[in-house]
Amino acid sequence: MTSTYLDPSLARVLRIAPSTADDAYYDYCLEPYAPRRPWADKYRSENLLWHSLIVGGADAALEAPMRAIQTSVGQDLTVWGVKWDGARLWWELYFYDPQKEDPKVTVTSVARALAPWVRFMPTIDEAWPYMMASFDLDPSVITRGQVDQVSLYLTGEAGHAGRSYEVTSGGRELTNTYRFLEAKREVDPIVSLVKASVFVDWSERDTLAKVIPPELWACKKICVAKKRRADGIYFSGITVEQLLWFFRRFAYPAPLVDFVARHEAHFSHLFFDVGIDYRWDEATKTLVTSKSSYYGTF
């Protein structure tokens, strides 16, 4: 039975989606995993998405188009990411189809599902060999009535190394290269890739521990990314306890932290994924986080 959660900070009610026997469990690469606990009396990860919309003041603008995507693509087959830069929340949606098997998850099909709210300005050639596509959503996108940018991700090797391109109506630009590694087995390659950077001053002894927090090392995979203006690192397959640590470490809005803390047991069967974009600030001589994010499916 669906229950509700009254957010004490916002005086807003969230309709809780409970876990069911039909739930599918995927990480942020849409790779399946076995849940940590039995699903009975637990909550779906999408509750974190809907609650974040309330906290970010975006539920009125974004819930209906996101529900339309969920209906069009299918339950549990869209990855959501909640982004936080210390001042504002925004959202990114990701669609995977590495083998080009499902016409419902092409950019063209997703754009069709969102047509009542927005128009996609970039022209996407569906013959391009992208294995994933994503785009940002926030209330301003709905207000403008258009998606100005789509990210396409390509990979062509078993090591799951890849690259992403920003596609706009004005052209295409390489924005990111990345590589996934096993956290426990590939420590040396992870550290080597992280340290191969023009964005970080490694002379401070604790810098590596800030980039790769010991609290997140106990995960399944680590993705090291090299971006235009920062480096990035992602931790895949963390527990709800680690997610709470992540929220507190990067000063997420109090209602988000409180929601997970209150319902920690309800999310204990899930694995989560989180990411950090970071760079060295020459003015303060410190490592700064330009953006962090957490992920689930809906």
pLDDT digits (tens, 9 = 90+) for 54-77: 999 999 999 999 999 999 999 999
Residue 96 has pLDDT above 50, yes or no: yes
Sign of CA dihedral 132, 138, 143, 149: negative
DSSP symbols for 121-181: -S---TTS--SEEEEEE-HHHHHHTEE--EEEEEE-STT-EEEEEEEETTEEEEEEEEEEE
Residues 15-37 have a mean pLDDT of 97
Are the C-beta atoms of 234 and 261 separated by less than 8 Å?
Answer: no
Are the C-beta atoms of 106 and 69 separated by less than 8 Å?
Answer: no
- Packing angle, helices 254-262 and 46-55, rounded to 10: 150
* Residues comprising the chain, all counted: 298
Beta strand pairing call for 119-120 and 146-147 = parallel
Question: Angle at CA 223, nearest 5°, toward 237 and 127?
Answer: 105
Q: What percent of the chain has pLDDT over 90?
A: 90
Query: 256-281 pLDDT, tens per residue?
Result: 999 999 999 999 999 999 999 999 99
User: CA 48 from chain center: how many Å?
Assistant: 12
Question: Angle at CA 275, nearest 5°, toward 227 and 5?
Answer: 140
pLDDT for the residue 3: 80
Residue 130 has pLDDT above 60, yes or no: yes
User: CA 63 from chain center: how many Å?
Assistant: 17
pLDDT category at 1 given cuts 50, 70, 90 is very low
Continuous segment of H or E residues that includes residue 66:
helix 59-73
What six digits make up the tokens of 297? 């499916």
Residue 112 has pLDDT above 60, yes or no: yes
Torsion of CA 190, 195, 196, 198, to 10 degrees: 140
CA distances from 298 to 85, 95, 104, 255 (A): 23, 11, 15, 21
User: Average pLDDT over the chain, rounded to whole?
Assistant: 95
Q: Measured between alpha carbons, how far is 53 from 163 in angstroms, rounded to an integer?
A: 29
pLDDT category at 123 given cuts 50, 70, 90 is very high
Give φ, ψ of 38 to 5 degrees.
-60, 145
pLDDT category at 100 given cuts 50, 70, 90 is confident
pLDDT category at 2 given cuts 50, 70, 90 is low
